[in-house]
Amino acid sequence: MNLRRFDGLCAMITGAANGIGAAVAHRLAAEGAAIAVIDLEEERLRAEFASLPDAACLTMAGDCTEQAMLQGFLAAAEAKLGPVGVLVNNVGQSARERGSPFVTSREEVWRFVLEVSLMTGLRLTRLVTPGMQARGFGRIVNMSSDAALAGDAGLVDYATAKMGLVGFTRSLARELAPDGITVNAVAPGAVRTRAHERIPAQVLERIRRGTPAGFIAEPEDVAGLVAYLASPEARFVTGQTILIDGGRWML
C-alpha cells in the first residue's frame, strides 16, 4: 500500500481545530500532503498542528463565512505551499443550543446554519476550482451528514444545509469531471467529537443503540474515507455521497 499518496499536493481543510477536520488534516499530512487549515479557534488550531514541519503546514485563524477571509486563506496557502490539489469543505455547525422544532425556530438561526454549513463550502470551492481546472486535476470533498438523509427531528435547518451540499456535490461533479476534478460528499453519523461533551449520557446511549454497528465512531474513521476520496485510487468516483454512520441509514 502506498502510504505517501499525497506527496507534492497541498490540501486545504476548513474547520480543522478539532474533531473530524483535525483528523482529516492529520491523515492527509501523514500521507505526504502539505496542509492549509483554518478555524476560528486560533490557539487550539496552532496547538493541534504544532508538531508538523512549518514548511508543510499553514494555520490561519478566521471566520469561514467571510469572503475576504477565504480569499486571504487561499492566497496565503498557495504562496507558502503551492497550488491547492485537495479541498475538504469540513466546517459546519448545527443550531446547537439555539435548536428547536421548526415551528418555533427563528430565521436568523436558519441563516446562521446555512451560512456556516453550506455557503462556506460554495464560496471556497468557487475560489479554488479555477486553479484546479487550469492544472487539470483536483479533489473536492464536502462534509455532509446523515441527518440530511435520515431527516432528524429538531435539525431542519442543519439537514437542509447538509442536503444542499449533496445537490452541490452532484451538479458540480458533472461540471468538473471533464477537467480531471472529482467532487464527492461524506455523510457521517454519530462521531465522537467535542460536541458530544454537551450531549447527555442517556442521549448518547440512545444514539449508540440506534446504530446497527453498536458503537459511536471516532473522527479517524471518517478521515480514512476522506483520504480515499482525495487519493488517486478514487479517480473514477465522483458525484457520490457516501454515508459513514454504522448502518443507521442505508442507500
Is residue 228 annotated as part of the catalytic site, yes or no? no
E strands along 46-127, which residues? 57-61, 84-89
Q: Which residue among 49, 73, 158, 168 is the active-site one?
A: 158
83-102: burial string, b at 16+ Cβ within 10 Å, e else: bbbbbbbbbbebbeeeeeee
Name residue 184's beta-bridge partners. Answer: 141
Instruction: Determine the number of helices (DSSP H) and then strands (DSSP E) in the chain.
Output: 9, 7
Q: Which residue has the cell 442543519?
A: 158
Q: Taking the CA atoms of the chain, what radius of gyration do you get in angstroms?
A: 17
Give 196's strand partners.
Answer: none
Residue 248 phi, psi dihedral angles, 5° rounding: -65, -40
CA 71, 62, 139, 11 dihedral sign is positive
How many C-beta atoms lie closer than 10 Å to residue 82's C-beta? 12
Residues noted as catalytic: 158
